[in-house]
Amino acid sequence: MAKSESWEWLKAVAVALLLAVVIRYFFFAPIVVDGESMMPTLEHNDRMIVNKIGYNISEPDRFDIVVFHATHTKDYIKRVIGLPGDTIAYEDDVLYVNGEAVDEPYLDEYKANAGTGPFTSDFTLEETTGYETVPEGHMFVLGDNRQHSKDSRHIGMIPYDEVVGKANFVFWPVNDFRIVN
């Protein structure tokens, strides 16, 4: 009887471990924010959950916060600004998508404290990437901390197949538990 009970416990533990691995690998993954490029939205060392399955059923939306493979060893977390077919420009601290001014309320805190000069330097998509529009299957991303972010202005367009997933919420530190917008 003891042998049978031990076997049942062993099977239960094995199934639990298998489920944990499958969920971690295919559905959700923890990530640690490294650096200040997404401040004030995300702080250095925030721990987040990344939804890995959402983009299997749909494509990223403008202003989603995504995690993507920037190099073979490093993932970045940035905000989607441009989608396929979009033209992107910044002029006098205003984002223009397809020629229309777009509000970025998540930058209000930083812009208020930026001091003199623009928070985001003027640029056009063509000047920074060589493309007039965002190509099919790619996105243009920026960090919220525009003055201190290595993003599409420096590394170019991000292919959809390099996207790990959407950053859904911060779970650590506990007092900062929140859904990310």
Q: Which residues are catalytic?
A: 37, 78
End-to-end CA, the chain: 54
67 contacts 167 by C-beta, under 8 angstroms:
yes
Q: Report the distance separating Cα 155 and Cα 82, nearest Å.
A: 14
b/e burial code for range 31-70 (CB count within 10 A of at least 16 → b): bebebbbbbebbeeebbbbbbbebbeeeebeeebbbbbeb
Residues present in the chain in total: 181
24 phi, psi to nearest 5 deg:
-65, -40
The 3-state DSSP class for residue 153 equals helix
Q: Residue 83: which of 180, 36, 152, 150 has the closest Cα? A: 152
